[in-house]
Amino acid sequence: MNDEKIKVRVTKSGQLLDVVVLNKRLDVIQIVLGEGIHNVRCDLLPTRNGTAYVGNAMGREIVYERSREDVKADLARAAGFRDFKAT
């Protein structure tokens, strides 16, 4: 099984983390931080202007720095559309 991984940034420290994606939709991206029994689930929601996805995990703000249009193109590519162009 291939788990999709994305990079998110912890805003306070600027640290980049690789996290596993549980579910990716245009309106929410569900991720898992950590492994085993010490994992934390988090929902990333799009910002108002649609330039990033933001969520909170254990009191820390995390940001996925891709726009809604980029995620839309990723979802279309994963669904098998070849020549999809984000508008």
pLDDT tens for each residue of 18-65: 999 999 999 999 999 988 898 999 999 999 999 999 999 989 999 999
**pTM, whole model, 2 decimals?**
0.86
Cα–chain center distance at 65 = 8
Q: State how far the Cα of 10 lies from the Cα of 26, in Å rounded to an integer.
A: 21
Segment 72-86 shows an average pLDDT of: 75
How far is the CA of 63 from the CAs of 34, 42, 45, 59, in angstroms? 16, 11, 9, 13
Q: Which amino acid is at 46?
A: P
Spatial distance between the Cα atoms of 85 and 6, rounded to a whole number of angstroms:
21
